[in-house]
Structure formats: structure tokens, C-alpha cells
Amino acid sequence: MVDTLLKVEHLNKAYGTKQVLHDINFSVTPGSVTVLLGPSGSGKSTLIRCLNGLEEFQSGQLSFEDQPIKPTPKTWQQLRQKIGMVFQSYDLFPNLTVIDNILLGPLKVQKRSKTEALKQATQLLKEVDLTDYADAFPRQLSGGQKQRIAIVRALALNPEFMLFDEVTASLDPEMVRGVLEVMLNLAKRKMTMLVVTHEMNFAQQIADNVLFLEDGAILEKTQGKQFFTHPQTDRAREFLDSMAF
Amino acid sequence: MAHSGINILFEGRNLTRLLGGLWISAKIAFIAIVLGILLGIILGMLRTLKNPLLRVILRLYLEFFRIVPTVVLLFLFYYILPQNFHINLNAEVVATLVFTLWVAAEMSDIVRSGLISVPRHQVDAGKAIGLTTPQLYRYVLLPQSIQLMIPATINLTTRVIKTTSLLLLISVMDVINVGQQIIEANNQHYQNGAFWIYGFIFILYFILCYPLSVWARHIERKEKLRNNG
């Protein structure tokens, strides 16, 4: 097993002349949960989107399993089967049923057998308590249900790394718990995860490492949970206070 | 009244000839629509890719076929191809070719605007599960935009059928051309032949186009209901 699953070195990104990510460096060890915190507009989403090629960047080197990533569409298309991503707005495909949403990747991208993929999908649906919704269309589901399906859709590809981009931010408060529980379960099973969230209690509960981002730069990089009790910078302390944490 | 004008339709082989003319018009329209739609879907997809050169070329193609009146296009292909390129095609083939290229151009714009109306997030979600670009179009973008494309496509179909009435200008034996011949040949006997013949042609075109128009409206209404739901 590799020591570092993902390594980010000197990542810089700009939109036109506006620099949005400044010299980002960090690495993610297998089986760990990294939480990415920071105020709105600090570049969290942009950073996480760079990690599976949904955003291009100007300079810097990403490596996955010690292999440098050559940022071409082809490389990313291959890598995305190993790096799953869940979005704030769920983004299930409205033209497909729940089960077809889940099976699209395994069948068409990974060309796996229907029997085997279906068996896995059924098992995953059971784990998120949505067995009965296999044949429903996304529009028939609540936000929380959609988000759990979106997580299953990403997991169905058997990824080694999962990116979560503010996945509870558009949910009603009572829907949030179910989604967070699914993520906690994943963490327990040693899924490597990078999580952008504003749920501070959840963040503290799940984090093995914390990255605190402001204005596109990493201000704090903390092992364990001490970020929440002993933030190093004033800015991080202010941020925690403002989150009423 | 010695004879009623309507009998002009039943003199000799007039009715068969008119229906034969209609068949020619319908056949040209049908082939052009099928081929044009297929070609248009491909061109429409290409127009949403990021290649700037391809975009400019396809845009110019669209504008050319949209701006130049169909009559001019027909003349251009009918007279200029043989004269300057020594390609001799019969009038029906020229008509089918022009109409196909026209439908493809218009269709490419319908497809393009349908595709770009699919939310950006859907593209991200598709990429995130590893779909290749063709798979993204096949399973996500096209199925989601097809509903939006159908009404405009049916309207295009209606326009194509109507525009076949220009085919007589390049001497295709279409229904209008046949009708005119009948009117002229029977000028002595039937002074108001034009009324009956053109009236009949009106009904024929109406029968071809009206169901399409109803269908388009029906789908548009259903789409509105679906979006409200």
C-alpha cells in the first residue's frame, strides 16, 4: 500500500488575472479523512474540483498513488473511476431511474457485468436505506434521498478516494443527518475522503486532518482534531467563532 | 350549369397525376428531413465542442443556409453545379440535396441550443463518474435535451413540406407543377380550374402539415405541464 494516496504540490490557479489558489501543498494518506474548511469564496470548491480534473489549473503537480497525473482529458477520464465526487446539488441524471443512475458508470464506463454491478448496487442501496427507490426517478425523491443516491452512484465505481463538495449545504436540516451518517460509515470503513463542509460538529467528528483555506491559500494544516480546540492562527479562531463553534 | 368546376379533378388522369406530384413532393421532403435531422444532430453536437475553427465553419454553414432564400439555393445548385463543376444531377436529386443541407443547418442550431440548455452541473456529474465525451452526449445530454428539441423539429418539418412548393422552379414534377399543367391544359373547358386545383392542393398540404402542427403544440403543452409539476 502506498503512503500517500494523493499529493498536491505547488498548485496555482487563476481565473484570468485573479489568482484563486496560491501554491497549495498537501497530501492525503490512504484511509484518512481530510476536512477542508474556510469561509465562502476561499477557494475550497475550486480546489476540490481541481482534484478530479473538473477545473484546470495553471501550474502545480498532482500525484495519485505516487504516479504524477498528466492533466489530459484521457487521464482524468480514467482517474475519475478511482476518484469519486459528490456535489452540493446532487446532480442525479433526471432522465434515468435511480438504479440506472447508479449503474451507468459500472456498466458503460467500467464495462462490468450487469449481474455483478446490479448486485453491488442493490447492496449499496440497502446500506443507505433506499432499496425501495431503485425504480423511482430522481424527481420523486427528497433532497436527502437524492444526495444519498448520489453518494451510492459514486461508490458504485469502487473508488479509492472520495471528494465531497458541501454535500449537505442545500439540504433541509432534518435531511442532513442521514447524509452525514452515510459519510461517517464510510469513514469507519477506512474510505479515503476529502470533505468540504460547513457542518462544524460533523467536521470535528470525522476529521483526521484539517486544511484551513483562506483567500485561496492554506493557512493551517493540522493533524487530528486540535484545529477545533487550538487553532493556530487568529483568522482560524475568528472563523470558528463565526461558525458559533 | 353544364358542368361543375370540381370535375376538373376527375378528368382523365388528373387526380392520379396530382397525387403522383404530391408523392414526389412528400418523398423529397421525407428523405431530406430524415437525412437532414441525422446530419443536423451530428453537426449540432460538434458545435457544442470547444474547437473554435470547427465552430466558425459550422456557424458559417448555418448562416449561409439560413440567410440565402431557398429559391436561390435551388437555383444555385441546379444551374451552377452543372455549369461550373460539371456535375449533372436531375432536379429531384438537386432538390433533395438542397433540402437536406438546409434541414441539417437548421437542425444543428436546434440541437445546439437544446444541448447547451442542459445545466452545466449535469456535465460535471457525468464526467465525475468517468463518462467519455461521446458517452456524456449519448446518456446524459441528448436524452435530457430531446424533449426541448422536438417541437422546434416538428415546426421545421412543417416548413420543409410547405417549401416543397418551390420545387416547380427547378422543374421538378411536384404537385404544384402538375396542377399548373392541368389548369393550362383545361383552360378552355374549366375557366375557374385554378380555384379547384389550387383548392385541392391546399387541402393536400393541409392534410400533410396540420397533424404535425397539432402534435408540436401537444408536446409543448405537455412539456409545460411537466416543468410546472
Q: Is A77 on the interface with B (CB under 8 A)?
A: yes
Instruction: Report pLDDT digits (tens) over B53-75.
Output: 999 999 999 999 999 998 999 98
| Contact by Cβ (8 Å): A53, B129 | no
Question: Does A224 have pLDDT greater than 80?
Answer: no
| Other Cβ atoms within 10 Å of A76 Cβ, number | 17
Long-range contact set of residues A41-45: C-beta below 8 Å, sequence gap at least 24: A42/A213, A42/A214, A42/A215, A42/A216, A43/A213, A43/A215, A43/A216, A44/A165, A44/A166, A44/A196, A44/A213, A45/A165, A45/A166, A45/A196
Phi, psi at A235, each rounded to 5°: -60, -40
Q: Which of B130, B132, B144 sits opposite A94 (nearest CB)?
A: B144
* Cell numbers that stand for A220 in this block: 493551517
Q: Is B117 on the interface with A (CB under 8 A)?
A: no
Q: Which residues of B touch A111 (CB under 8 A)?
A: none
| Predicted complex ipTM exceeds 0.95 | no
For chain A, the domain total comes to 1
Question: What is the b/e burial string over B67-99, where b = at least 16 CB atoms within 10 angstroms of the residue's CB?
Answer: eeebeebbeebbeeeeeeeeeeeebbebbbbbb
Contact criterion met (CB < 8 Å) for B130 and A52: no
For chain B, the domain total comes to 1
Q: Is residue A146 part of a domain?
A: yes
The CA distance from A209 to A130, in Å, is: 31
Question: Does A92 have pLDDT greater than 50?
Answer: yes
Q: Is residue A116 part of a domain?
A: yes
Give Cα separations from A223 to A34, A52, A94, A204, A232 (angstroms): 9, 24, 40, 12, 12
- Domain containing B120 equals 5-228
| Contact by Cβ (8 Å): A213, A45 | no
- B31 versus B91: the higher-pLDDT residue is B31
Looking at residue B178, its pLDDT comes to: 85
Q: Is residue A192 part of a domain?
A: no
Q: Which of A77-81, B197-201, B220-224 has the lowest mean pLDDT?
A: B220-224
Instruction: Report pLDDT digits (tens) over A99-155.
Output: 999 999 999 999 999 999 999 999 999 999 999 999 999 999 999 999 999 999 999
* Cell numbers that stand for B158 in this block: 412543417
Q: Is A110 on the interface with B (CB under 8 A)?
A: yes
The CA distance from B105 to B101, in Å, is: 6
Looking at residue B227, its pLDDT comes to: 56
- Which CATH number do you get for residue B222? 1.10.3720.10
Contact criterion met (CB < 8 Å) for B129 and A104: yes
How high does pLDDT run on average in chain B? 87
| Contact by Cβ (8 Å): A12, A66 | no
* Helix boundaries (H) for A108-225: 114-127, 143-155, 173-188, 200-206
Looking at residue B15, its pLDDT comes to: 81
Q: Is residue A154 part of a domain?
A: yes
- Domain containing A102 equals 92-159
The CA distance from B37 to B149, in Å, is: 11
